[in-house]
Amino acid sequence: MDSYPAIEDHGLIGDLQTAALVTCDGTIDWFCAPRFDSPSIFAALLDKEKGGYFQIAPHDVRYVTKQLYLPGTPILITRFISADGVAEVTDFMPVTGERATDAHRLVRTVTMVRGSMRFRVECRPRFDYAREEHQLERHHNGYVFRSRSATLTFNPVDPVRRLISEQGDVHLEGGDLVAYGTLNEGDTGGVVLETGGAEPRIFSPEEIQGMFEWTRDYWRRWLERSRYTGRWREMVERSAITLKLMTYAPTGAMIAAPTTALPELVGGTRNWDYRYTWVRDTSFSVHALLGLGFTEEVSQYMNWLDERIREAGDHQDPLKIMYRVDGSSDLHEEVLDHLEGYRGSRPVRIGNGAADQLQLDIHGEALYAMHLADEQGIRVSHQVWKSTVRLVDWLCHNWDQPDAGIWESRHHPRNYTFGRVMSWVALDRAIRLATRTGRPGDMTCWTEQRNRIYNQVMERGYDRARGTFVQAYDEKVLDAALLAMPSVGFVTPSDPLWQSTLQAIERELVSDSLVHRYDPVHSPDGLPGHEGTFNMCTFWYVEALARSGRLDDARLTFEKMFTFSNHLGLYAEEIASTGEQIGNYPQAFSHLSLINSALTLNDLLDTEADARRRR
């Protein structure tokens, strides 16, 4: 690779246990196996020289590229267009199922639509984040890249000679494979990469077509379960597919993003590993998934969350903020000094040291999700309820203390207003659950502490001199997380206290409709530098505008956000001042909040339209 592609110049493919990123020029520059959080096999995204990649692209031809998804699927098509012809590379990963496996397939086929082109195939794996050496073995039917801890099998698709000719056009270069082949109009060729130690073999075109059709039909059948028929259907469905791609099928846990260390500021140090399951992120996804009708996914996640609640409640501990997809909680943070980072953005981190922070708000998100699921008939067992009671009892006695907050500050703990609001949500939803289901709980204590939190937030979380709710008690800094206050029911959208807060956020945190989380200059978070606007906060802003009755403003802001998505409808974590996408990619928070905003805004626009018709 000669340079780093833009973060948004990637498509995502996956098999519900891991995923890969594919650039607009046909390069897989990020792939971990056998799970999302496993060591990388291709990581040129984090070091173009050392990281490793797999490219299929025209050789010695000037071309332009276009990318699209096969409608209703995550099957990615990269089109190469030149004066010599038009070719398409199709990338997909057959779904592996709900049993964890080391065997995963990357299927890459090339079809010559018009004319003729010579292609270059480069497969340069670098196992374990480029920390392990490997050997390349030539077999009769293919090749095997073998390291100490993993193997990658390179399987040609018949007829082999079209893409990988053995007549002097295959070169083994120090453990890497470089091959050349010429395709003429109507020709197809391809490669299947397999993890898990499979013996190399030649795949027939019929096998490839069968895997393609099965994968296509799986995703279209899944998407047919969506009941969303409102405005912005295409963007909503693409976001739903993206969230599904980031879900680990064996447990139902959703990762925050399939990448690590993509910077919040190019060249900066805010480079975190997001390949884990945050209780906050996935709990917020429950509203989005239920709104679209995906109750099975919600049920699977709630089973995963129930286990985490049992672990915490049974030990009378708070929930951890994040876990691995299998529910384990060892997320030791480590710096990979040998990798230069995306466009020189160091350090490159794996693991996440924030995992052991106290963040009080996650209990609110967990109980919020449990309450929503219960309303749809997805109810917890007796044992899980007992653990939930112990967790809520713990919160009753521990909510009034400083914590690290929703943005995971690595500065000193503070009394964050949002943390108190979500602690109120936890107690309020626990009371509603117990009342609705007739299950036991210390209602007297829960109600008393819920009311104490409410009164405290109104007294200390609202700065009367400024006329706004603030990020933390006894401070004057604003925080975009406060935009969620009306949606969780803590304040009514028409309340003057909230309206003045919304106006202050617009003045200080909103830039051309995009929303900053907070101002790190006035709210130190223990890290140098600044960051872009946060996509989730912009979608929260859309909801806040809509709930406040400003539907025209909400709709314009929402549709402006579409201009910042990439060519495939995908979003990273943030938008830089240049308009580029930055941060880990694609980001679950961005896509789930897009869905929630679409659901809320669509319903309110329909209500307004009905009211006009009645008049």
Rg of the chain over CA atoms, in angstroms?
25
Residues 586, 506, single domain; the answer is: yes
Residues 201 and 250 in one domain: no
Q: Is residue 557 part of a domain?
A: yes
Do 141 and 288 fall within a single domain?
no
Closest Cα to residue 61, out of 80, 77, 46? 80
Residues 239, 216 within the same domain: no
Cα of 587 vs its chain's centroid, Å: 3
Pair 353, 204 in one domain: no
- The confidence score (pLDDT) of residue 614 equals 87
Q: What is the pLDDT of residues 145-173, one digit of tens each?
A: 999 999 999 999 998 777 776 555 788 88
Do 246 and 195 share a structural domain? no
Give the domain-ending residue among 222, 257, 277: 222
Number of domains forming the structure of the chain: 2
Same domain flag for 196 and 318 = no
pLDDT of residue 285: 94
Q: How many helices (H) and strands (E) does the chain have?
A: 13, 28
Statement: residue 63 has pLDDT above 90: yes
Residue 525 has pLDDT above 70, yes or no: no
Tell me: do 66 and 84 sit in the same domain.
Answer: yes
CA distance 536 to 239: 13
pTM over 0.95, yes/no: yes
Asked if 93 and 156 sit in the same domain, the reply is yes
List the domain range (segments joined by +) for residue 190: 7-222
46, part of any domain: yes
What 8-state DSSP symbol labels residue 471? S
* Of 355, 466, 372, the residue nearest 417 (C-alpha): 466
Is 2 contained in some domain? no
Residue 614, domain member (yes or no): no
Question: For 570-597, what is the mean pLDDT?
Answer: 97
- The angle, 0 to 180 degrees and rounded to 10, between the axes of the packed helices 279-292 and 361-375 is 20
Tell me: do 491 and 577 sit in the same domain.
yes
Mean pLDDT score of the chain: 95
The two structure tokens encoding residue 370: 């449990």
Query: What is the average per-residue pLDDT within 217-230?
Result: 97
Helix (H) or strand (E) holding 490, with range, is none
User: Can you tell me the mean pLDDT for 228-248?
Assistant: 97
- Tell me the torsion sign for CA atoms 7, 13, 16, 19: negative
The total of other beta-carbon atoms located within 10 Å of residue 81's CB is: 17
Domain C-terminal end among 156, 189, 222: 222
Give the CATH number, domain containing residue 205.
Answer: 2.70.98.10
* CATH value at residue 469: 1.50.10.10
In a domain, 615, yes or no: no
Asked if residue 613 belongs to a domain, the reply is no
pLDDT of res. 169: 76
Confidence of residue 1 (pLDDT cuts 50, 70, 90): low
Last residue of a domain, one of 171, 200, 222: 222
How far CA 57 is from CA of 10, 61, 87, 119, 351, in Å, comes to 15, 9, 9, 6, 33
192: in domain: yes
**216 shares its domain with 317:** no
C-alpha closest to that of 402 among 359, 367, 365: 359
Give per-residue pLDDT as tens, 271-285: 999 999 999 999 999
Q: What is the pLDDT of residues 377-419, one digit of tens each?
A: 999 999 999 999 999 999 999 999 999 999 998 778 999 999 9
Task: Tell the residue number behind the tokens 């056998």, with chain if given.
Answer: 34
Q: Does residue 1 sit within a domain?
A: no
| Structure confidence at residue 410 (pLDDT) | 79
Q: Are residues 237 and 93 in the same domain?
A: no
DSSP secondary structure, 475-499, as one string:
-----GGGGGTTTTTSS-TT-HHHH
